[in-house]
């Protein structure tokens, strides 16, 4: 096996976040499903923007948030995702490179604008996302650099990649290369409605061992196995995947591998401000734990710590060095 | 006197904020003066952006932040400031109107881009600003609507307006109209280096009663009177202005009017994150207190409360309803 250049490489929809604090009435008036990610077109994007309050903007995208978290924890990180060469796309490239993430995917010269998500944050801290995929739809297998994938310890993929037509081919190509190089492939199920759209395909990816590690939250697990019973879902997951990690918000997480189950509590949070990125940053911490050879319990603690940091402020990217935070909390990274 | 349509109308440099967390070493490497506002050109803006970390962006501008705070406190607010009709400028217009602020200044069709400020926030919460004025330099007396000014209870002006060439004429025109209509004119001294640039002119504005109310922080007061002694500065201010308000960060504020002095403590803060907008939001609370007929003590408390909200998160615009916050804290607005 050749040497590892990147501890974790993520592939996902490169999305710029437009965050706004709002109230329940706005979600109702806009007929939004609270807590979900809805795909929207340009006209709908315009209508939401016109109706919504003042925005805070920053780079986002689920796997990208995870990868920025991986870098913030001091691990070597790379990202693959498609933006357009427009003002927003250039800001996206600046931000991910400034976070010390290797990023070389060529920007699209033409076509739709860089993707963005209107993220409504209610007073309870829950986020409701409305995503215009834009240039993210232009990601193709040609954007997958075989050498880079083979040199990455873990390839991390988001379920959202199943939405753009050609991205799933990029996903499958990356998995093949990674496995041929003896690497691990991880998948986050992303969103319960996303699971609902691609349930059979996701189960197939797991059962055919296209992916080795799966991250899911409770509602995604319930959606995947169409069950309201958590233990039924967890039992099914255990059979379908080598390593499964289920996050349960303030109840912490469960890690299942073969017959073993490890339960890890959540980190205490002073004030829940915005859950955007909670799952993304949990995955960052857990993956870095794996990379560092930590056990499931410590990997889970690192995930919980990273998630706790990101939900105490607006936005899905860490505001402090997660490596420093981990060290202050006695977790080696 | 005709009726009041707006409780407070603000005039200032319309600036889009590009905020980034950084460390002391970055400020040193970039030869920035910590805590100050430096004017930069396009080349310097590019160099700072290339060197700095991932950004969070949102609308800013000192007087605009104040006016958004006034609206958040439930008072009727209007703003005058110049953006270009570019992507950032349109976002600026969206944000200020979405904050329920009347904003009708026509955007510049050509010329420099919408102004922006690269704001470096160090771990101690202090902010260091680097401002490219851009389209803000295009504000002229033609942008001052006499009817709107005359219908505003208080006209609030920022000292930063002395930087762009033609804005000071707009400033003076607005003051004349306001006084002719029997209104009050308030000025914030903005920044100690700004005071250093325009000391004599600011003193002249106060002594000729072009302005009736002055907001200053300690370092601006020291710069204005070129004294290291606070009481000397305060005594001089008392003679030069009808109503003077001096903010002293965690030591609270002092309000001087004729022979009276009112001291108001700061609000306790759990975690200081980013001081950007502290003075702006203090002014918002104080002005709304004045508008509501509160005494200096309650106006100061309202200012302290609004400032405390804004320094506990990244960015200079309030993240919650300040009216709700005031009511929760027993301050009538």
- Residue pLDDT, tens place only, A24-45: 999 999 999 999 999 999 999 9
Beta strands in chain B (DSSP E): 6-11, 15-21, 37-39, 56-59, 77-80, 101-103, 115-121, 127-132, 152-158, 184-188, 213-217, 243-247, 253-257, 260-264
Please indicate, yes or no, if residue B175 is contained in any of the structural domains: yes
Query: Are A135 and A108 spatial neighbours (Cβ–Cβ below 8 Å)?
Result: yes
Reference B48, options B40, B60, B56, B59; nearest CA is B40
What's the count of helices (H) and strands (E) in chain A, helices before strands?
12, 14
In a domain, B222, yes or no: yes
Nearest to B98 among A52, A56, A58 (CB): A52
Q: Which of B25, B56, B86, B317 to mutate to test the interface with A (most CBs of A within 10 A)?
A: B56
CATH number at residue A146: 3.40.1190.20
Say if the Cβ atoms of A95 and B59 lie within 8 Å. no
Residues of B in contact with A58 (CB under 8 A): 54-57
Task: Label residue B48 left, alpha or beta by phi (over 0 means left) and psi (-120 to 50 means alpha).
Answer: alpha
Q: In sequence order, what are the beta bridge partners of A16?
A: A59, A116
- Does the residue B281 lie in any domain? yes
* Distance in angstroms (rounded) separating the CA atoms of residues A151 and A181: 8
For residue B115, being part of any structural domain is answered with no
The minimum CA-CA distance between A233 and chain B, rounded to whole Å, is 38
Q: Would you say residue B297 lies in a domain?
A: yes
DSSP string covering B206-232, please? Answer: HHTTS-SEEEEEHHHHHHHHT-S-HHH
**Cα angle B203, B204, B209; round to 5:** 100
The verdict on a CB contact (< 8 Å) between A98 and B270 is no
CB atoms within 10 A of CB A328: 11
The residue in chain B having the minimum alpha-carbon distance to the alpha carbon of residue A270 is B270
Pairwise CB contact (< 8 Å): B95 & A57: no
Partner residue opposite A95 with nearest CB, options B54, B94, B99:
B54
A98 to B52: CB separation less than 8 angstroms, yes or no: yes
CB contact under 8 A, B313 and A317: no
Closest by CA to A18, choosing from A320, A319, A316, is A316
Short-list A253, A256, A267, CA closest to A218? A253
Contact B53 A98 (CB under 8 A): yes
Q: Helix, strand, or coil here: A220?
A: helix
Give Cα B294 to chain centroid, integer Å: 21
What's the number of domains chain A is made of?
Answer: 1
* Helices B278-291, B296-310: inter-axial angle, 10-degree rounding: 150
Show the domain range for B177: 6-13+61-83+134-327
Cross-chain Cβ contact B54/A59 below 8 Å:
yes
Q: Under an 8 A CB cutoff, do B54 and A270 touch?
A: no
Q: What is the pLDDT of residue A333?
A: 87
Give how far A95 is from chain B: nearest CA, Å: 4
- pLDDT at residue A1 greater than cutoff 80: no
Which residues in chain B touch residue A53, judged by CB atoms under 8 angstroms apart? 98-99
Residue B31 within a domain? no
B235–chain A nearest CA distance, Å: 41
3-state secondary structure of B102: strand
Q: Which residue in B has a C-alpha nearest to residue A101's C-alpha?
A: B54
Question: Does residue B306 lie in a domain region?
Answer: yes
d(CA A272, CA A123): 9
Contacts of A49 in chain B (CB under 8 A): 94
Which residues of chain A are within 8 Å of residue B95 when distances are taken between CB atoms?
Answer: 54-55
Measured distance CA(B219)–CA(A155) in Å, rounded:
53
Report yes or no: B303 and B266 within 8 Å, Cβ to Cβ: no
Task: Check if the beta carbon of residue A255 is closer than 8 Å to that of residue A238.
Answer: no
The shortest C-alpha distance from B121 to chain A (Å) reads 11
Among A54, A97, A318, A322, the residue to mutate for chain B (most B Cβ within 10 A):
A54
What CA–CA distance (Å, rounded) separates A67 from A325? 17
Contacts of A59 in chain B (CB under 8 A): 54
Start-to-end CA distance of chain A, whole Å, equals 24
CA-CA distances (angstroms) from residue B140 to A296, A314, B11, B144, B189? 64, 36, 11, 8, 20
Instruction: Output the pLDDT for position A332.
Output: 85
Choose the closest CB to A54 out of B50, B59, B320: B59
Give the pairing of strands A152-158 and A6-11. parallel
User: Would you state the structure tokens that stand for residue A103, as one six-digit string?
Assistant: 């990023």
Q: Which residue of A has its CA nearest to B317?
A: A54
Spatial neighbors of B280 by CB under 8 A, at least 6 apart, are: B62, B63, B65, B66, B69, B188, B310, B316
Of B55, B270, B273, the CB nearest to A58: B55
Percent of chain A with pLDDT over 90: 98
Q: Which residues does A contribute to its contact with B (CB < 8 Å)?
A: 21, 49-50, 52-59, 68, 87-88, 91, 94-96, 98-99, 270, 273, 313-315, 317, 319-320
Biggest CA pair distance of chain B: 56
Residues of chain A in contact with residue B67, where contact means CB-CB under 8 angstroms, are: none
**List of residues 6+ apart from A83 with CB closer than 8 A:** A14, A89, A92, A93, A105, A107, A108, A114, A115, A135, A136
Q: B55–A95: do the CB atoms touch at under 8 Å? A: yes
* Chain A to chain B Cβ contacts (< 8 Å): 66
* CB-nearest partner of B56 from A58, A68, A270: A58
Closest chain B CA to residue A68 = B54
CA-nearest residue to A122 within chain B is: B320
Under 8 Å between Cβ of B308 and B279: no
The answer to whether the CB atoms of A319 and B21 lie below 8 A apart is yes
Residue B231 located in a structural domain = yes
C-alpha A72/C-alpha A137 separation (Å) is 28
Mean pLDDT for chain A overall: 97
Find, among B302, B292, B213, the residue nearest to B252 by Cα.
B302
Reading chain B (333 residues) residue by residue, the pLDDT tens digits are: 578 999 999 999 999 999 999 999 999 999 999 999 999 999 999 999 999 999 999 999 999 999 999 999 999 999 999 999 999 999 999 999 999 999 999 999 999 999 999 999 999 999 999 999 999 999 999 999 999 999 999 999 999 999 998 999 999 999 999 999 999 999 999 999 999 999 999 999 999 999 999 999 999 999 999 999 999 999 999 999 999 999 999 999 999 999 899 999 999 999 999 999 999 999 999 999 999 999 999 999 999 999 999 999 999 999 999 999 999 999 988
Q: Which residue of B has its CA nearest to A93?
A: B54
| B17 to chain A: closest CA residue | A56
Give pTM, 2 decimals.
Answer: 0.95
CA dist., res. A106 & res. A90, Å (int): 11
With an 8 Å Cβ cutoff, are A95 and B57 in contact? no
From CA B99, how far away is CA B332, in angstroms rounded?
21
Contact between A175 and A206 under an 8 Å Cβ cutoff? The reply is: no
Q: Give me the helix-helix angle, B62-72 and B87-98, nearest 10°.
A: 30
CB contacts of B92 in chain A (<8 Å) are none
Does the distance separating the beta carbons of B94 and A49 come in below 8 Å? Answer: yes
Q: B108: helix, coil or strand?
A: strand
Average pLDDT over residues A127-141: 97
Torsion sign across C-alpha atoms B43, B45, B46, B48: positive
Q: Chain A residue with minimal CA distance to B274?
A: A319
Beta carbons of A94 and B54 less than 8 Å apart: yes
The rounded Cα B83 to chain-centroid distance in angstroms is 17
Of A54, A58, A59, the CB nearest to B99: A54
């Amino acid at each position: 096996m050749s040497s590892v250049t990147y501890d974790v490489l993520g592939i996902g929809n490169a999305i710029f976040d437009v965050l706004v604090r709002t109230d329940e009435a706005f979600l109702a008036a806009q007929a939004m499903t609270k807590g979900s990610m809805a795909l929207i077109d340009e006209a709908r994007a315009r209508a939401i923007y016109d109706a919504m309050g003042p925005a805070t903007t920053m780079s986002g995208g689920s796997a990208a948030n995870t990868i920025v978290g991986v870098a913030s924890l001091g691990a070597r990180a790379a990202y693959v995702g498609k933006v357009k060469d427009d003002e927003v796309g250039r800001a996206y490239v600046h931000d991910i490179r400034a976070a010390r993430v290797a990023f070389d995917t060529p920007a699209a010269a033409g076509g739709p604008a860089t993707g963005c998500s209107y993220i409504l944050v209610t007073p309870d801290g829950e986020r409701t996302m409305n995503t215009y995929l834009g240039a993210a739809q232009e990601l193709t297998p040609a954007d997958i650099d075989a050498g880079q994938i083979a040199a990455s310890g873990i390839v991390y993929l988001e379920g959202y990649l199943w939405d753009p037509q050609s991205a799933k081919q990029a996903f499958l190509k990356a998995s093949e290369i990674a496995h041929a190089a003896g690497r691990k492939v991880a998948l986050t199920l992303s969103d319960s409605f996303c699971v609902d759209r691609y349930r059979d395909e996701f189960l197939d990816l797991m059962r055919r061992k296209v992916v080795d590690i799966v991250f899911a939250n409770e509602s995604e697990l319930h959606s995947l196995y169409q069950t309201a019973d958590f233990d039924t879902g967890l039992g099914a997951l255990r059979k379908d995947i080598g390593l499964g990690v289920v996050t349960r918000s303030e109840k912490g997480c469960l890690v299942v591998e073969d017959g073993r189950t490890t339960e890890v509590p959540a980190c205490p949070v002073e004030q829940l401000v915005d859950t955007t990125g909670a799952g993304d940053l949990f995955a960052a911490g857990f993956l870095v734990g794996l990379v560092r050879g930590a056990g499931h319990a410590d990997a889970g603690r690192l995930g919980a710590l990273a998630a706790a940091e990101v939900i105490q402020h607006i936005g899905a990217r860490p505001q402090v060095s997660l490596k420093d935070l981990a060290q202050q909390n006695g977790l080696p990274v």
